[in-house]
Amino acid sequence: MAQVLEFKLPDLGEGLTEAEIVRWLVAVGDVVAIDQPVVEVETAKAMVEVPCPYGGVVTARFGEEGTELPVGAPLLTVAVGAVSAEADAEPGPGAGSSGSGGGSGNVLVGYGTDTGPTVRRRRIRPAEVVPVVPAVVQAAPEQFEPPTAIGPVPVISPLVRRLARENGLDLRELTGSGPDGLILRSDVEAALRPALEPVPERAGERVPLRGIRGAVADKLSRSRREIPDATCWVDADATELMAARAAMNAAGGPKISVIALLARICTAALARFPELNSTVDMGAREIVRLPEVHLGFAAQTDRGLVVPVVRDAQDLSADSLSAEFARLTEKARAGTLTPGDLTGGTFTLNNYGVFGVDGSTPIINHPEAAMLGVGRIVAKPWVHDGELAVRQVVQLSLTFDHRVCDGGTAGGFLRYVADCVEHPAVLLRSL
């Protein structure tokens, strides 16, 4: 008698944990070949046809079209063995009556008929499944690859099968480490990995990761490990922004810093694109959009990099922002920042232009969702009003958490910031 095997939704890679059934490619009673696509599913990344690792008769399907299933949930069951010779087979093109002209005679799973390369889907009733009676048939050219082993190879993931196939690895030679001997991707990778010679311990000076350096290492490692970040950047003509700052400072009173003007632009941009002033709660699987902008800024000190936080930056003027940046920078250099000065940020501004560099790809300050990096403002050739001119140019870089938004939102934020840098009057319209 046939053996009924359950095929579960495989791990489709990319860290995806569920998929939606878009279209069933087989029905109950259909005969399927090994690795034949049986269902089309949609993940968060793409539409995928999922092949079944078993050959036989479909006895059950789980989930209607439009149903979302988690990875590991049952998709269908297959009676593995063979099918009845005459079980409701649809005659293929050119098939005649029994005994003449070839027709669709006994067909083993994965093979065609003797009428040519066209293979028609056949339906039988599950009750008609019987043990296989081997028949000598000719495989249809370039249609299916005949099975080379008795019984199914214990592999679910089509990615694992493809990885093995592309590297010429015979899965029958592996012993799976998964449940019931299931062959996992790690098993295939281990079989393909050449033996590595032990690497001798490198000699050299060892510097302990302690204090601020250790805290920075932990924070940045966690950011890279947990946040799927992406970066976009743009060059902007900052000539008018610098001219506006010069005019403001010429009017008397406290001097306004460039970073204060950029901070004012950032708070206006975050009001338009609040997705970037947020954090991700993976435990609850929620994006938490934050009402206040607590603006962190990177400050390099003799003790290392620190990120003081300006509270409620959205309510501060350029004058007030300049005063707060100056106060916190002085505390950072003196080593007197409190834990309250260094925690609770929602967005970070990083002016690495002070180091004389044009660009960088900032690492997000976990658990925030974005960071704006600013390079040096330097005179460069630039097309202005249709003519080549020497202008003050700056490169702006935005690194963002791809979980909270897509490139359109990030690009919109960065473009608004660049527009305000190039035309400060744009910012006045948003106040």
Residue of 88, 170, 312, 406 marked active site: 406
Over residues 269-296, the pLDDT tens digits come to 999 999 999 999 999 999 999 999 999 9
pLDDT at 194: 61
DSSP state for residue 300 in the 8-state scheme: E
Q: Select from 72, 81, 78 the least CA-distant residue to 2.
A: 81
In a domain, 24, yes or no: yes
pLDDT beyond 90 at 337:
no
pLDDT beyond 90 at 427:
no
Residue 305, C-beta contacts closer than 8 angstroms, at least 6 positions apart = 212, 216, 298, 299
Across-strand partners of 107? none
Sign of CA dihedral 320, 325, 330, 334: positive
397 contacts 373 by C-beta, under 8 angstroms: yes
Which of the pair, 390 or 161, is modelled with greater confidence?
390
Q: pLDDT band at residue 42, thresholds of 50, 70 and 90?
A: confident
pLDDT at 53: 92
Q: Which of 236-245, 327-336, 414-423 has the lowest mean pLDDT?
A: 327-336
What are the φ and ψ backbone dihedral angles of 191, each rounded to 5 degrees? Answer: -70, -30
Residue 199, C-beta contacts closer than 8 angstroms, at least 6 positions apart = none
Q: Which of 5-19, 80-94, 211-225, 253-267 has the lowest mean pLDDT?
A: 80-94
Structure tokens at 393: 């140019």
Which of the pair, 329 or 140, is modelled with greater confidence?
329
Half-sphere exposure of 166 (CA within 13 A, CB side): 8
In a domain, 320, yes or no: yes
323 and 421 both lie in a single domain: yes
298 and 387 both lie in a single domain: yes
pLDDT at 45: 53
- Average pLDDT, rounded, for the chain: 80
55 contacts 147 by C-beta, under 8 angstroms: yes
| CATH (domain of 7) | 2.40.50.100
In a domain, 26, yes or no: yes
SS (H, E, C) 33-70: CCCEEEEEEECCCCEEEEEECCCEEEEEECCCCCCEEE
CA–CA dist 257, 212 (Å, integer): 27
180 is catalytic: no
pLDDT beyond 80 at 338:
yes
111 and 21 both lie in a single domain: yes
366 is catalytic: no
Cα 261 to the chain's mean position, in Å? 34
Q: Which of 92-106, 249-263, 352-366, 404-418 has the lowest mean pLDDT?
A: 92-106
* Mean pLDDT across 221-226: 92
In a domain, 205, yes or no: no
54 and 144 both lie in a single domain: yes
* Mean pLDDT across 106-114: 31
Amino acid identity of residue 294, one-letter, is H
Q: pLDDT band at residue 46, thresholds of 50, 70 and 90?
A: low
Query: Where a domain ends, among 111, 132, 152?
Result: 152
131 and 271 both lie in a single domain: no
pLDDT at 345: 96
pLDDT beyond 60 at 105:
no
Q: How many domains does the chain have?
A: 2
147 and 226 both lie in a single domain: no
Residue of 302, 341, 402, 419 marked active site: 402
50 and 140 both lie in a single domain: yes
Q: pLDDT band at residue 128, thresholds of 50, 70 and 90?
A: very low
In a domain, 339, yes or no: yes
CA–CA dist 99, 122 (Å, integer): 19
pLDDT at 82: 52
Query: Where a domain ends, among 105, 124, 152?
Result: 152
pLDDT beyond 70 at 5:
yes
Sign of CA dihedral 11, 13, 16, 20: negative
297 and 425 both lie in a single domain: yes
pLDDT at 351: 93
pLDDT at 14: 52
pLDDT at 420: 96
Which of the pair, 68 or 38, is modelled with greater confidence?
38
144 and 232 both lie in a single domain: no
Q: pLDDT band at residue 320, thresholds of 50, 70 and 90?
A: very high
Q: pLDDT band at residue 201, thresholds of 50, 70 and 90?
A: low
- pTM of the complete model: 0.57
136 and 228 both lie in a single domain: no
Cα 180 to the chain's mean position, in Å? 30
Q: In 352-386, at which residue ranges do the beta strands (DSSP E only) sit?
A: 370-374, 378-384
What is the pairing mode between strands 18-24 and 378-384?
Answer: unpaired
Q: pLDDT band at residue 74, thresholds of 50, 70 and 90?
A: very high
270 and 402 both lie in a single domain: yes
| CATH (domain of 253) | 3.30.559.10
Q: Select from 185, 144, 183 the least CA-distant residue to 163.
A: 185
pLDDT at 292: 97
CA–CA dist 377, 313 (Å, integer): 24
Query: Where a domain ends, among 152, 174, 207?
Result: 152
In a domain, 198, yes or no: no
Across-strand partners of 380? 391
Q: pLDDT band at residue 177, thresholds of 50, 70 and 90?
A: confident
* Mean pLDDT across 125-139: 39
Structure tokens at 370: 């974005």
396 and 286 both lie in a single domain: yes
In a domain, 361, yes or no: yes
Q: pLDDT band at residue 83, thresholds of 50, 70 and 90?
A: low
pLDDT at 401: 97
* Mean pLDDT across 196-225: 77
pLDDT at 214: 79
> What is the residue range of 390's domain?
222-430
CA–CA dist 6, 400 (Å, integer): 41
In a domain, 168, yes or no: no
pLDDT beyond 70 at 94:
no
CA–CA dist 104, 135 (Å, integer): 13
